[in-house]
Structure 1
Amino acid sequence: MATSPSSPARTGLLQSLANIRRDEAAAVAVAALFFFCVLTALMLLRPVRDALGMAQGMDQVRWLFVGTAVVTLAVNPVFAWLAARLRRFPLLGATYGFFAIGLATFWALLQFAPGAIGERSGQAFYVWFSVFNLFATMVFWALLAERFDADQGKRLFAPISVGGTLGAIFGPWLTSRLAEAVGTPALLLVASGFLLAALMLAWWLLRLLPDRKAASTSERDAPVGGSAWAGLRAVVRSPYLAGIAGYVLLMTVMATFIYFTRLQMVAEVAGDTDARAAVLGNIDMWTQIAVLALQVTLTGRLIQRFGLGIALALLPVATAVGFVGLAAYGSFVVLIVLEAGNRAMQRGITRPAREALFTVLDREDTYKAKAAIDTFVYRGGDVLGAQVEGLLGRLGFALGGLVGVVVPLAFAWTALGLWLGRAHARHAAPAAAPPLPPPAASHRRTRGAAAPLQDSP
């Protein structure tokens, strides 16, 4: 599957639109459909999650962020332990199957024991879904980072992301149509069905894409081995991985600022859970349409022409500009523009670029270090952002005070994105030249493509 960039096997349409070669087209299509199912399930339920979280006020949501971070930290070593011992498809099956069963369980409680559903169960669903949200997407991108090389990541992750964006549009559209018509419980079963479809597509994708990081055919899809805490240790030891973690932390802090601003404004215009779910679903749908437009017209060409560093730096700049505009005008319309722009940049440009950073890692770090960054570090940014936003509110600072925090952080965030782009280019070049060492070699002495990541920048 990992073909040379000079391969002549190309189709005119695919090449002109997304630089996809003929022998890559099937894998890209399956991966995009896979991502469509995952994002449909997630975005279908996200408005429900947010509406339930808002039921007890903004302070309760901030504490739910803390609970989510704690649960995410607890789940990380469990996932790493499974990755060390399961082959690839059983690992994917355990992840998506577990969450599908969880959705069916919540549906059964809502359907057959509504008296047992109360404030605590709504909080439990909020935390459970927030953990599920991160692991479902992390596993998808970890599989792609393992199977595509650095060149393919820069070329193909953007068109694959279009599938996820279509799912992120379709999911909220379903929510806005079904939330008040059939009620919340039915949405859980629909989302569970999409997860099972995603699992079947994952099996198909594994058949299409050989493991390029395996030394032999017999070792393809083998468990990655190592310890349950290897991912967190790798993030601490590697400047490159620590840089990715820092970028993700700043990104989630900023996103959390936008999130709480949105919840507060929605609470003022919608009074009950179903109405709020419908409003949030419509907001998600229209912002994802902006994401799709950006992905189709700009993302792939921008990454290939200017590199990952510029692609990673665009989101911090756009976020800072958006917050300044929100502070100046302060209307609900401006908030929607800010969120649409932020999410369009994040999903349309930043996400494919950020996932391409992981293509130079070895197999263990592709799953374990990535899991630590995309789940625990991500939720840590949520907690930090929620607490800072809450503190500013208690001190009486309005949006102007928030902007005073956002702009300096955006400068640091931009510089980190540019540095990561240069670091990826340095590590991708030597990683492409020599063959990977056999896994039988000492993991601590030789880390294959990830070995340069341990060097100081």
Structure 2
Amino acid sequence: MPPRRRSLPSTAFDLLNLRHGEAAPVLVAGLFFFCILSALMLLRPARDALGMESGLDSVRWLFVGTAVVTLLVNPAFGALVARLRRLHFIAATYAFFALSLVGFWALLAFAPDAVGARSGQVFYVWFSVFNLFVTMVSWALLADRFNSDQAKRLFALIAIGGTLGAIFGPWLASRLAGPLGTPALLLVAAGFLVTAIALAWLLVRIRSDRPDDALASPDGREPPRIGGSALAGIRAVFASRYLLGIAGYVVIMTVVATFLYFTRLQMVAAAESGLDARTGLLGSIDMWTQIAVLALQLTLTGQIIRRLGLAVALAMLPVAMALGFIGLALYGSFAVLILLEAANRAIQRGITRPARETLFTVVGREDKYKAKAFIDTFVYRAGDVIGAQTEGVLGRLGLALGGLVSVVVPLALVWAALGIWLGRAHQRAALEPVASGPH
């Protein structure tokens, strides 16, 4: 009996780094990320525009408030993880933020006179917490859903779904902010979150014919509750060199990203003065930078991680950011800013983020959710605070972009070295039982 001809499917699978049995979960995971990033990027221009209403100095202090709130929320999230099954605490997280969006919309729609600078600051802090937690939960689910080998091959592909959402969200914001007003964007984002809950449920219940597919059990049942202490994630980070290294990598990354963020706000503040106009301009910038992200993901991302390894992938962003800030200091303009943001997000979302999330595939399930929550929320926001205050001090000293470059370049060297160490530590840990985890 002659063998069946499957040259075309095999070629497509090879091109996408897919193996048989993986197409369905990858497709659902991509749609899941599409909804999450659509909701986030739909609201981000409105968050930035509202935050700028009280001036850039106020935004810097809002970063401090956000860091404090994320620290307070972490034990509550840890308690959810300990007491509820995985799908239940994921659904509870997304449902809470969706209901919060409805509440903000009701305030803006039915009590506009009660909305002022203080309300905008509250929304800014709330969104910043929302942004980190829904993204963290998404990646934690994927790190639980796919093993280390699958993560190296598939996370970059799955991230394309998020990038498409990150393009679609700002496009919607730029089109709807004018005719419908900024408040209407909140309800649209809530709808995306509700859809994401359904897709998360589907993702963990897809049956797989792969024997190494650790999460999707053949009978479709949920694994038992993780249990443990609500503060276990915080203790785990300081007890493990590996997790502490990831935290250090995240801190430096967010410090440098915050420098870029405030540079963008300053340029937008100088160009536009109205809330809706700033929302539209910020949305347009986001849309074009995400198109650059998609171009990289479709061409190079999967090959870079698979062929060059995590160490190189994690070191690429520090090098690119150092070179980008030097270029921005020499040729400061919107065009250069968009190029720098495009390079930053293309590498960060297309290469660095999938590589960084792969690091969590070799730790235990409790650390995937609890320690990761602490790193991706409080540690991340702590980096924001450090970056915002440092940028403010440099600005008051009159150093501007030249001063930022003098800080970014040394940080980038440490950042790149840490990325190389983490990549090698992951490679060693991947050969050990996941239960023991790296130290």
Bin of the TM-score, shorter chain as denominator length: over 0.9
Alpha-carbon distance in 1 for matches of 2:16, 2:217: 30
Equivalent position to 1:267, from 266, 269, 293: 269
| CA deviations over 1:183-209 (Å, ceiling 9, x no partner) | 011100000001000111011011016
TM-score by length of 2: 0.95
Q: Does 1:102 align with 2:104?
A: no
- One-letter amino acid of the counterpart of residue 426, structure 1: R
| CA deviations over 1:304-332 (Å, ceiling 9, x no partner) | 10100100000000000000001111122
Equivalent position to 1:138, from 136, 139, 142: 136
Q: How many aligned positions are there? A: 430
Alpha-carbon distance in 1 for matches of 2:219, 2:416: 41
Question: How high is the sequence identity, in percent, across the aligned residues?
Answer: 68
Following TM superposition, by how much is the alpha carbon of 1:10 offset from its aligned partner in structure 2, in angstroms? 10
User: What is the aligned partner in structure 1 of residue 181 from structure 2?
Assistant: 183
* Runs of 4+ displaced beyond 4 Å: 213-219
User: What is the aligned partner in structure 2 of residue 165 from structure 1?
Assistant: 163
Equivalent position to 1:30, from 13, 18, 28: 28
User: What is the aligned partner in structure 1 of residue 286 from structure 2?
Assistant: 284
Alpha-carbon distance in 2 for matches of 1:21, 1:424: 23
Q: Check the 8 A contact 1:107/1:189 in 2, yes or no.
A: yes
Following TM superposition, by how much is the alpha carbon of 1:25 offset from its aligned partner in structure 2, in angstroms? 0.2
Equivalent position to 1:418, from 417, 420, 427: 420
| CA deviations over 1:40-76 (Å, ceiling 9, x no partner) | 0000000000000111111000000000000000001
Following TM superposition, by how much is the alpha carbon of 1:396 offset from its aligned partner in structure 2, in angstroms? 1.4
Equivalent position to 1:113, from 111, 114, 138: 111
Alpha-carbon distance in 1 for matches of 2:200, 2:220: 20
3-state SS of the aligned residue for 2:226? coil
User: What is the aligned partner in structure 2 of residue 50 from structure 1?
Assistant: 48
Alpha-carbon distance in 1 for matches of 2:307, 2:384: 32
How big is the alpha-carbon RMSD for the aligned residues of Structure 1 and Structure 2? 1.8
Q: Does 1:453 align with 2:432?
A: no
User: What is the aligned partner in structure 2 of residue 437 from structure 1?
Assistant: none
Alpha-carbon distance in 2 for matches of 1:162, 1:214: 22
Q: Does 1:340 align with 2:351?
A: no
- Written as runs of structure 1 = structure 2, the 5 A alignment for 1:27-426 is 27-208=25-206, 212=214, 220-426=222-428
Following TM superposition, by how much is the alpha carbon of 1:216 offset from its aligned partner in structure 2, in angstroms? 11
Change in Cα spacing, 1:295 to 1:168, as seen in structure 2 (3 Å) is same
- The answer to which of 346-355 and 113-122 deviates more is 113-122
Change in Cα spacing, 1:10 to 1:23, as seen in structure 2 (3 Å) is farther
Change in Cα spacing, 1:234 to 1:199, as seen in structure 2 (3 Å) is same
Q: Which runs of 5+ in 2 are unaligned?
A: 1-5
| CA deviations over 1:153-173 (Å, ceiling 9, x no partner) | 000100000000000000000
User: What is the aligned partner in structure 1 of residue 3 from structure 2?
Assistant: none
Q: Check the 8 A contact 2:205/2:221 in 1, yes or no.
A: no
- The answer to which of 402-411 and 108-117 deviates more is 108-117
Q: Check the 8 A contact 1:9/1:21 in 2, yes or no.
A: no
- The answer to which of 52-61 and 219-228 deviates more is 219-228
- One-letter amino acid of the counterpart of residue 436, structure 2: A
3-state SS of the aligned residue for 1:346? helix
Alpha-carbon distance in 1 for matches of 2:249, 2:420: 10
3-state SS of the aligned residue for 2:398? coil
Q: Check the 8 A contact 1:319/1:410 in 2, yes or no.
A: yes
- The answer to which of 323-332 and 380-389 deviates more is 323-332
Q: Check the 8 A contact 2:37/2:162 in 1, yes or no.
A: yes
3-state SS of the aligned residue for 2:265? helix
Change in Cα spacing, 1:216 to 1:348, as seen in structure 2 (3 Å) is closer
3-state SS of the aligned residue for 1:181? coil
| CA deviations over 1:226-256 (Å, ceiling 9, x no partner) | 1011001110010000010011111100100
Alpha-carbon distance in 2 for matches of 1:215, 1:276: 48
TM-score by length of 1: 0.91
Alpha-carbon distance in 2 for matches of 1:119, 1:9: 61
Change in Cα spacing, 1:222 to 1:214, as seen in structure 2 (3 Å) is farther
| CA deviations over 1:99-142 (Å, ceiling 9, x no partner) | 00000000111111111111111110000000000000110110
- One-letter amino acid of the counterpart of residue 80, structure 2: L
- One-letter amino acid of the counterpart of residue 141, structure 1: W
